[in-house]
Amino acid sequence: MNPDGALLRELAGERSQEQMGKLLGTAQTFVGMVYRGERRLGAASVRRLLTAFPDQRQYILDVLFPRGGAR
């Protein structure tokens, strides 16, 4: 699974795709596409994730932007 989708699923917990879409300011279909690896999280979505999950900030950044440069 792609890191974006795995991270989004983990952060979603019991939230539906529709709820995560609202949290990210995007459509439920986009969330599903990220889950399936068809799309990546954009800058605006990452900013909203960081705002919605401030206590997970460093973890989110580490998963999405690994320091080794490999993805």
Q: Residue 52: inside a domain, yes or no?
A: yes
* Total domains, the chain: 1
Residue 70 lies in a domain: no
Q: What is the pLDDT of residue 43?
A: 93
Indicate if the alpha-carbon torsion angle 23, 5, 16, 53 is positive or negative: negative
Q: Would the pLDDT of 71 be above 60?
A: no
**Mean pLDDT in residue range 63-69:** 82
Q: pTM to 2 decimals?
A: 0.85
pLDDT of 1 reads 58
Amino acid sitting at position 1: M
The parent domain of residue 18 ranges over 3-64
CATH code (residue 54):
1.10.260.40
- Residue 71 inside a domain? The answer is no
Q: Which of 26, 32, 28 is nearest to 5 (CA)?
A: 32
pLDDT single digits (tens) 9-53: 999 999 999 999 999 999 999 999 999 999 999 999 999 999 999
Instruction: Judge whether 69 lies within some domain.
Output: no
pLDDT of residue 2: 87
